[in-house]
Structure 1
Amino acid sequence: MTSLLDRADRAGRPAYADISVPALRRGAARVLTGNWTGASTVPSRTLYPHQWSWDSAFVAIGLRHLSAHRAQRELESLFAAQWADGRIPHIVFNPAVPEDAYFPSPDFWRSSRAGRAAGAPAAPETSGIVQPPVHALAAWLVHRADPDLSRRHRFLDRAYPRLTAWHDYLLTRRDLGGGGLAAVVHPWEPGTDNSPCWDRALARVDPAPPDTFRRADLDHGHPRDRPTDLDYGRYVRLAADYREAGYDDRAARPAFAVEDPCFNALLAVGEHALAATARALGRDDAPHTARADALTRHLVDRLWDAEAGLFRVRDLRTDDLVEERAVTGLVPLLLPHVPPGVVQALRGTLAGPGFAAPGTRLVPSYDLTGPAFDPQRYWRGPAWFNTAWLIHRGLRTHGLDADAARLRQGFLAEAGRSGFAEYVDPVTGEARGARHFSWTAALTLDLLRSR
């Protein structure tokens, strides 16, 4: 693997993997321009032809360095599909894209009909599940990029009630364990789709018969990289059962229900962002600060494993912690008020044999020494750029600037060398998944502006 080169281009500017900073910035901007639909940004033109929820949040974070106005539009196009119960769906479907371009398609989710009682909009069609709540953080960062523009457009005034409704939904209807954390009811909701952390819970799910659906993802992704047919059948079964329950979290009895540390850490970070937003709008920030503090306490009480040196997933059907060690257990480093001992333990885990990858400075999605490690298969080992960005932000939050700088350098080198890949093999450093991936490009722009 080509690592960061400590040399400069002809103009004396630093270079990352033979790509100068200006060229890296131009390349990232081209990716976002190429994936822009006129209202939002698709993750990639091939594998993901619609708008994805947490992708758009990450995209807005990077877009703010190119155009704060377009970053606002990115988030507002997503908010326009919000359900009346507060949920922000994980996919907003583009009606101009053929039905068979992606599965599960709009005619599977049937949001406007099956989700009517839960408050799904009549249009656009969406999925019925959610993704991690990065949106409040993204909205606050977009505002800060150009506060005057934000105030003229009343961006925060319009975003704030939508974001508070979104968090209210997660903290009430999704507190399925009664412990003050939000639960996820489908492996696609935490964003780490087929992590080994879900294997035990998924084993309880009877898969949908393979002749009842057609996987469009294999048209653009190699089967070796993608989830297995058995896992996909279980995903389809869970989504279909949730749909048949009208996407009603009170009526549904999910076979899969877990508390994920990354999802809840982002919810707590979002509450900190909403506290800042409330102050900017002249409102009381105390409710958001209290929520952020409570979420942090609950995360430590319910999910922290001192022996493992990271946060674990809690399976709500058995009410115990899942043994697998994944990158999601490191993301709570983002939280400013986790105990110092937890911060140091997480730092040690990052540097240890489970997560110090030989082929990249990015962080593997799963423990390199774990029994289910696979360097190629989606979220079962490959190292992702968005989780590296989150951990970089966490390192900086706790003053671990040298560690953050090394991760930043590795991120920029990998992004340039890989053609802004979706993820990389942590052993060889080989680019995997889609190329010209939007959040990789967007977060590259953000890290180019940070130190």
Structure 2
Amino acid sequence: MSLRQAAEKVLLGNWTGHSTVPSRSLYPHQWSWDSAFIAIGLRHLSPRRAQVELESLLGSQWSDGRIPHISFSPAVARDAYFPGPDFWQATTTGGVETSGIIQPPVHALAAWLTHQADEQESVRRGFLPRVYPKLVAWHTYLRTRRDLGGRGLVAIVHPWESGMDNSPAWDAALARVTPAPLDSFTRRDTDHASPGDRPTDLDYGRYVQLAATYRDHAYDDATTPFQFALEDPAFNALLIASEHALADIAEALDLDPAHHLKAADELTAALGELFADGLFHARDLRGTPVTAGTISGLIPLIVPGLPQAAELLTTARGDRFGLGRVHLVPSYDLTGPAFERGRYWRGPSWFNTAWLIHRGLTTLGEQQHADQLRDDVLKLAESTDFAEYVDPYDGSPRGAQTFSWTAAVALDLLSCT
């Protein structure tokens, strides 16, 4: 079986009829930024199915514009995943049970790439006219209700919102949170993955407490007493990339793209305030400066015309991230005190972030580095049976296997010439 066929088999196997689960065992529902990456790969298998993937996710959008990070499937047992729908107590006006937090905004970029995969089919189905107003509402929510620092950047209010759950960048902020008692919940993730690869029980207790506080304040961004509120470089960089995508979508619909380009410029200028010592760092709105160097600080390489791109590229190539000398791009500074080569976002390399860095390198004209990274993604995807993430030193698989976004980004990079 070829790599393309194997990747397609993973995506077909994880397809539920209207969306794709990240993993049949570990993540049995629809996840927000997973679906965006999945659509990017699905467009090479079936542009129509990629459109349906995104439309399905947008069907769980809240009336305030937010896209929740999980859309729960009624076909899955209510206790198959924790925190499940009974914990979140969130239902859309359309009757969809969801979580109450969000994930990084890759969606507009995914929608634009999906449209480009088969413009005729997209126009025939009215794909862009349907998704554009929903994506605008999503970005409006982020830029208004989540500008908690008043500096023009979006703040995350839970580590899960970054998509990089237990990154060392969140350690100091999490330390302020009194964890929920361990006997008050039952984890399900460690039923399907090695506890040594997953966040600790202490961190998980803090995640649960943060989510419960937000829930108990009806997910109101104006009144919730957020103990955890940080401006994350990757989250904001992805919003910038998606604002540029919305500008492209607006033009395709014969609408004025100017306000999207203006938003992208404003966000890019504000993002620059997070740059120091060759890397972007999260800003803690409730505590001291974040010094941890993580993959989040490199993802702004995808931002068009980024003023700091040359310095950022030097950091990526240096000892801290070893671009081209280790596998993919590690999630945390290889020289950092909190580095763990096997534990979730505290060192291992991820395929979706490698895809983002590849996109940035290609945009910057760094084709040799981009090609080397692409080759590594494809080789590892095949040798690990599409692992969730890998050890940056030996490339061994970690987490779940037959993971959807790994198959999706491999399928996309196979199409690169």
Q: State whether TM-score is above 0.5.
A: yes
Report how far residue 359 of structure 1 moved: 7.7
2:96 — aligned with what? 124
2:127 — aligned with what? 155
**What is the identity, as a one-letter code, of the residue corresponding to 1:404?**
A
The answer to whether 1:333 aligns with 2:301 is yes
Task: Quote the Cα distance in structure 2 between the aligned partners of 1:358 and 1:152.
Answer: 43
Report how far residue 348 of structure 1 moved: 1.2
Which digits, 9 at most, give the CA deviation of each residue in 1:358-395, with x for residues without a partner? 98430000001100000011100000000000000001
Mark the CA change 1:145 to 1:358 in structure 2 (over 3 Å): closer, same or farther: closer
- 8 Å contact kept, 1:360–1:427: yes
1:322 — aligned with what? 290
2:198 — aligned with what? 226
Tell me which of 275, 281, 304 is aligned to 1:312.
281
1:35 — aligned with what? 14
Number of equivalent positions: 417
Mark the CA change 1:358 to 1:271 in structure 2 (over 3 Å): closer, same or farther: closer
2:354 — aligned with what? 388
1:90 — aligned with what? 69
Q: What secondary structure does 1:99 align onto? A: coil
Task: Quote the Cα distance in structure 1 between the aligned partners of 2:318 and 2:337.
Answer: 17
The answer to whether 1:211 aligns with 2:183 is yes
1:272 — aligned with what? 244
- 8 Å contact kept, 1:360–1:414: no
Task: Quote the Cα distance in structure 2 between the aligned partners of 1:325 and 1:155.
Answer: 39
The answer to whether 1:248 aligns with 2:220 is yes
Task: Quote the Cα distance in structure 2 between the aligned partners of 1:169 and 1:69.
Answer: 28
Task: Quote the Cα distance in structure 1 between the aligned partners of 2:104 and 2:30.
Answer: 14
Tell me which of 395, 411, 414 is aligned to 1:445.
411
The answer to whether 1:173 aligns with 2:112 is no
Report how far residue 321 of structure 1 moved: 2.9
Q: What secondary structure does 2:147 align onto? A: coil
TM-score where L is the length of structure 2: 0.99
Q: What secondary structure does 1:409 align onto? A: helix
Which digits, 9 at most, give the CA deviation of each residue in 1:40-90, with x for residues without a partner? 000011000000000000000000001000000000000000000000000
Max radius of gyration: which structure?
1
Structural mapping, 1:127-146, within 5 Å: 127-146=99-118
Q: What secondary structure does 1:373 align onto? A: coil
**What is the identity, as a one-letter code, of the residue corresponding to 1:246?**
A
- 8 Å contact kept, 2:32–2:67: yes
Q: What secondary structure does 1:149 align onto? A: helix
The answer to whether 1:72 aligns with 2:59 is no
**What is the identity, as a one-letter code, of the residue corresponding to 2:274?**
L
The answer to whether 1:292 aligns with 2:264 is yes
Task: Quote the Cα distance in structure 2 between the aligned partners of 1:25 and 1:151.
Answer: 27
Task: Quote the Cα distance in structure 2 between the aligned partners of 1:359 and 1:143.
Answer: 36
1:190 — aligned with what? 162
**What is the identity, as a one-letter code, of the residue corresponding to 1:303?**
L
Please, what is the CA RMSD of the aligned residues?
Answer: 1.1
Task: Quote the Cα distance in structure 2 between the aligned partners of 1:290 and 1:262.
Answer: 19
1:14 — aligned with what? none
TM-score where L is the length of structure 1: 0.91
Which digits, 9 at most, give the CA deviation of each residue in 1:292-340, with x for residues without a partner? 011111001x2111x2x1100000013x53000000000000011211x
Q: What secondary structure does 1:65 align onto? A: helix
**What is the identity, as a one-letter code, of the residue corresponding to 1:376?**
G
1:115 — aligned with what? none
Tell me which of 227, 230, 235 is aligned to 2:207.
235
Q: What secondary structure does 1:224 align onto? A: helix
- 8 Å contact kept, 1:315–1:322: yes
Identity of aligned residues (%): 62
Q: What secondary structure does 1:29 align onto? A: helix
Report how far residue 148 of structure 1 moved: 0.7
In structure 2, the gaps of 5 or more residues are: none
Q: What secondary structure does 1:333 align onto? A: helix
Task: Quote the Cα distance in structure 2 between the aligned partners of 1:49 and 1:414.
Answer: 24
Q: What secondary structure does 1:290 align onto? A: helix
Q: Which stretch of the first structure deviates more once superposed, 175-184 or 423-432?
A: 423-432
Structural mapping, 1:52-67, within 5 Å: 52-67=31-46
Task: Quote the Cα distance in structure 1 between the aligned partners of 2:70 and 2:140.
Answer: 20
Which digits, 9 at most, give the CA deviation of each residue in 1:1-22, with x for residues without a partner? xxxxxxxxxxxxxxxxxxxxx7
Task: Quote the Cα distance in structure 1 between the aligned partners of 2:94 and 2:177.
Answer: 31
**What is the identity, as a one-letter code, of the residue corresponding to 1:377?**
R
Task: Quote the Cα distance in structure 2 between the aligned partners of 1:359 and 1:37.
Answer: 38
1:103 — aligned with what? 82
Task: Quote the Cα distance in structure 1 between the aligned partners of 2:64 and 2:257.
Answer: 23
Mark the CA change 1:211 to 1:122 in structure 2 (over 3 Å): closer, same or farther: farther
Report how far residue 104 of structure 1 moved: 0.1
Q: What secondary structure does 1:323 align onto? A: coil
Report how far residue 121 of structure 1 moved: 2.9
Task: Quote the Cα distance in structure 1 between the aligned partners of 2:14 and 2:165.
Answer: 22
1:281 — aligned with what? 253
Report how far residue 279 of structure 1 moved: 0.3
**What is the identity, as a one-letter code, of the residue corresponding to 2:85?**
P
Task: Quote the Cα distance in structure 1 between the aligned partners of 2:309 and 2:153.
Answer: 20
Task: Quote the Cα distance in structure 2 between the aligned partners of 1:326 and 1:375.
Answer: 13
**What is the identity, as a one-letter code, of the residue corresponding to 1:317?**
R
Task: Quote the Cα distance in structure 2 between the aligned partners of 1:96 and 1:382.
Answer: 32
Tell me which of 424, 433, 436 is aligned to 2:390.
424
Task: Quote the Cα distance in structure 2 between the aligned partners of 1:226 and 1:408.
Answer: 27
